[in-house]
Amino acid sequence: MDRSSLLQLIQEQQLDPENTGFIGADTFAGLVHSHELPLDPAKLDMLVALAQSNERGQICYQELVDLISSKRSSSFKRAIANGQRALPRDGLLDEPGLGVYKRFVRYVAYEILPCEVDRRWYFYRHRSCPPPVFMASVTLAQIVVFLCYGARLNKWVLQTYHPEYMKSPLVYHPWHRARAWRFLTYMFMHVGLEQLGFNALLQLMIGVPLEMVHGLLRISLLYLAGVLAGSLTVSITDMRAPVVGGSGGVYALCSAHLANVVMNWAGMRCPYKLLRMVLALVCMSSEVGRAVWLRFSPPLPASGPQPSFMAHLAGAVVGVSMGLTILRSYEERLQDQCGWWVVLLAYGTFLLFAIFWNVFAYDLLGAHIPPPP
């Protein structure tokens, strides 16, 4: 039912004869029953919560329209939160007779969302089309590129030590920083099988569920923002080093998700969350430590500096700032939030500074950049 037909039905039934902007919950419930309005269980639960949040047990007409049309503003979510005591105590974990795919959707809801209302909303509104194609496509492209270079170089571990590796048009190297595409395309190249495996695993285990819940546009924006921030940060802080791997985007996703879990610890229902949090932090820290070791204590003689580790840290900063703002805004318009514009302004300022740095600082500081092999 769309907004116009709902308005017409309410007017015909004279549910708000005094034009107060509110409708009695019992009256509307009778309307739903008599006209068999197609409201899914999640919306019916939220309808009860909206009525509970009002002192007189009434529903704001605008909030009712937003509910029917699947729009959720910040005030709408606050009203839902205030009336959550009226929601049924049983959650999605008690839903019987679900198929394999719906059980996976339920698993994703409990992994990503901290609120039972949001979990039910996502579960009943989720559609399998479009699928989470961004993270899957990026991971597949990274695997294909790695296999191509592995076969060409006949090297599958520490590929960066091969003299032909740095000649790739995808790698970011400070000598070629004028080729702007390299600030993004380096995410398709990897040091070796171990780095590719780590990144691919996290992209599929964390990136795909995040994309299923928050959508392609938001997650692709977060991932690419982490990748771009990674290469630009290296160009400022580690001026002589190249960059390879999608760790900037991966750490943006992981840091945003972990920060969201910590800030909503009581509401998260994912099993063994403390153990999984510790394991995730240990794995991410180990990968950073490994990158630092390869940068400053390379195990093999190399013709130039090895890839920098600063992309990992830059991605984590993007995740905690921009990523957390995105993940906390489920089903809300980002442009309506002041915090989003603050984060966007900070990121834009960083981009402008990094561009000017790459254009002028290398010559002004007289930085000696060894050419690629």
Q: Which residues are catalytic?
A: 247, 312
Token pair recorded at residue 84: 């959550």
Angle at CA 229, nearest 5°, toward 225 and 231?
125
How far apart CA 27 and CA 165 sit, in angstroms, is 71
State the Cα–Cα distance between residues 124 and 78, nearest whole angstrom. Answer: 20
Say if residues 209 and 111 touch (Cβ distance below 8 Å).
yes
* CA–CA–CA angle 148, 188, 134 (5° rounding): 115
Q: Do residues 372 and 173 touch, judged by C-beta distance below 8 A? A: yes
The tokens describing 155, both together, are 């090297």
Give CA–CA dist 280/257, Å, rounded: 11
CA 38 to CA 124: how far, in whole Å?
13
* Residue 246 per-residue DSSP state: S
How far apart (Å, rounded) are the C-alpha atoms in residues 204 and 224? Answer: 16
Q: Cα–Cα distance between 179 and 170 in angstroms, integer? A: 10
